[in-house]
Amino acid sequence: MPQNYVPIFIFAFVAFLVAAGTLAIFYLIRPKNPFKTKLMPYECGITPFDSARGRYTIRFYIVAILFVVFDVETIFLFPWAVQFKLLGLFGLLEMMIFLGILIVGYIWIWKKGALEWV
């Protein structure tokens, strides 16, 4: 039913007001006294000598890719779980085949060392 989804926007708007509204109201009474040293990025007292947006380890990308694969798989399981009893043995068998393929892939990435964090 569409009316079930209308409150999402109201709630998001209220939460936006809580965050942005309070920030805006107290902007008027906050002290504003910026100077150069205060606005430097925090680096334990050392003057930063390069931009922070450099290169970082490739592991984070691997985690992201694996997440996409496994999360899509989890989402695929939800419709089956809802209709679990109705689909019965046929659904169970189909899902076992799907999960079997997935588990083979999982063992493969484990053996390949994609899950190691070195």
Residue numbers at the binding site for other proteins (CB under 8 A):
1, 3-8, 10-12, 14-16, 18-20, 22-23, 26-27, 29-34, 36, 38-44, 48, 51-53, 56, 59-60, 63-64, 66-67, 70-71, 74-75, 77-78, 81-86, 88-89, 92, 95-96, 99, 103, 106, 110, 115-118
Helix (H, G, I), strand (E, B) or coil at 114: coil
CB 98 within 8 A of CB 76: yes
Question: Closest separation between CB of residue 71 and other proteins, Å?
Answer: 6
Query: Of 114, 82, 108, which Cα lies nearest the Cα of 95?
Result: 82
* DSSP letter string, 24-43: HHHHTTS-----TTTTSPPS
Question: Closest separation between CB of residue 57 and other proteins, Å?
Answer: 9
Strand ranges in 45-113 using DSSP code E only, listed in sequence order: none
Question: Closest separation between CB of residue 108 and other proteins, Å?
Answer: 14
